[in-house]
């Protein structure tokens, strides 16, 4: 059995109030823990694999293609591969979410 605490792992991104920590990385997929300070934004980008977002805390706004919507904790949002997507935290509280990529890009 392996275990790890996300706060003890080195971030793969720590810029502009957005911290991403890869908490799982195997051939079948990746899981990244994302932390966004109030007002922070992960710019819109495209990935070659399907992505699922699981909201842990806060009410971040997800931009997927031409759609933009805020989501509450415990919501899962699908983003198909090759569709531009990004995250904005428009609230005054931090937001945390898991970004699940299948298969690993």
pLDDT digits (tens, 9 = 90+) for 39-90: 999 999 999 999 999 999 999 999 999 999 999 999 999 999 999 999 999 9
Q: Find the domain containing 91 and state its range.
A: 8-102
Q: Is residue 31 part of a domain?
A: yes
Kind of pairing, strands 41-45 and 76-79?
A: unpaired
Residue 105: its pLDDT value, please? 81
Q: Is residue 13 part of a domain?
A: yes
pTM: 0.93
Tens of pLDDT along 80-105? 999 999 999 999 999 999 999 998 88
Residue 89: its pLDDT value, please? 98
Residue 104: its pLDDT value, please? 85
Residue 45: its pLDDT value, please? 97
Q: Could you say which DSSP state residue 66 is in? A: T
Q: Is residue 1 part of a domain?
A: no
89 near 60, Cβ under 8 Å? yes
Read off the pLDDT of each residue in 7-22 and give the average, rounded to a whole number: 95
Q: Is residue 29 part of a domain?
A: yes
Residue 63 sits in a domain whose CATH number is 2.60.120.10
Q: Is residue 2 part of a domain?
A: no
Q: Is residue 3 part of a domain?
A: no
Q: How far apart are CA 85 and CA 34, in angstroms?
A: 14
Domain count, the chain: 1
Q: Is residue 84 part of a domain?
A: yes
């Amino acid at each position: 059995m392996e275990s790890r605490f996300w706060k003890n792992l080195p971030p793969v991104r720590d810029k502009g109030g957005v911290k991403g920590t890869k908490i799982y990385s195997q051939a079948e997929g990746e899981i990244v823990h994302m932390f966004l300070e109030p007002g922070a934004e992960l710019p819109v980008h495209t990935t070659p694999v399907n992505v699922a977002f699981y909201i842990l805390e806060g009410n971040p706004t997800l931009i997927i293609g031409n759609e933009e919507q805020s989501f509450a904790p415990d919501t899962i949002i699908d983003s198909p591969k090759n569709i531009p997507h990004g995250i904005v935290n428009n609230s005054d509280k931090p937001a945390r979410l898991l970004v699940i990529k299948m298969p690993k890009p």
